[in-house]
Amino acid sequence: MEKFSLLNHYSVYRDSSIIPPKLMWKRIVNNAIRNYHTELWTVRVTGNPEFARFSVVHPHIRAARIWTAARTPRETSEASAAVRVLVNTREQPSGNNCRHCGHITLDSDTHAIASCQRLIDYRLTILRACNILPNTNSYDMVTLLLSAANTLDDETTRSICNFIHMCVT
C-alpha cells in the first residue's frame, strides 16, 4: 500500500468507516499502480541520455509495436536489432569499417541504415513505404524509420525491422 501511495485512501475509509464498493476500490488500486509505473518509466526515459531517441519515438508507456508486430523467432530477433539501434545513441569508436561497403565511418550502424550505397535499393523501398524523403539527414532518418516502425501497420513495421537487422548485423 505504501509503495503505490494507497495508505491515504485507506485511512480516509478507515476513519469515515465507509467502505467503497469493490469496483471503485479496484479502480483506485489500478490507477495507483499505473501512476507508480508511469512515473518510474518517465524518470528512466527522460533522465538517461541513452533514451534520447527512444523517448521521441516512444512517448507513451505501452507495448512497443516493434515487439508486438513480430510473430516468429526470426522476426523477434529482427525487432531486437531495431530496439538496440533505438536505445543506442552513443557514437561507436571512430574508424569503424562498414560491414557492407568497407567505408570507414564514425557510426557504422547509422551509416548502414541511412547512407551505405550497398543497401540503397532496400533503403529506397523502405523509405517510400514510410513516406520519408531520401535526402533526410542520417540521424533523423534513423529516428523517423524507428518512429514509423512504432506507428504504421504491422507489415511495414516488420519490413523496417528486417531492413535494420540486415544493416546492423
- Min dist. Cβ of residue 120 to Zn ion (A): 10
CB of 158 to Zn ion, least distance (A): 23
- 57 vs 127, which CB is nearer to Zn ion? 127
Contact 75, 66 (CB under 8 A): no
Q: Which is nearer to Zn ion, 6 or 101 (CB)?
A: 101
Closest distance between Zn ion and the C-beta of residue 79, in Å?
23
166 near Zn ion, rule: CB under 5 A: no
Smallest gap from residue 121 Cβ to Zn ion (A): 13
Distance (Å, rounded) from C-alpha 59 to C-alpha 145? 15
Using the minimum distance from each CB to Zn ion, give the nearer residue, 64 or 164: 164
Contacting residue, 51, 96, 100, 129, with Zn ion by CB under 5 A: 100
State in Å, rounded, how far the first CA of the chain is from the last one. Answer: 46
C-alpha cell at 90: 552513443
116 makes contact with Zn ion (CB under 5 A): yes
Round to whole Å and give the CA distance between 168 and 148: 18
Closest to Zn ion by CB, 105 vs 157, is 105
- 9 vs 100, beta carbon nearer Zn ion: 100
CB 92, min distance to Zn ion, A: 13
CA distance 169 to 165: 6
Residues 6, 28, 101, 152: which binds Zn ion (CB under 5 A)? 101
Considering only residues 39-98, where is the footprint of Zn ion by CB under 5 A?
A: 98
Chain contacts with Zn ion (rule: CB under 5 A): 98, 100-101, 103, 116
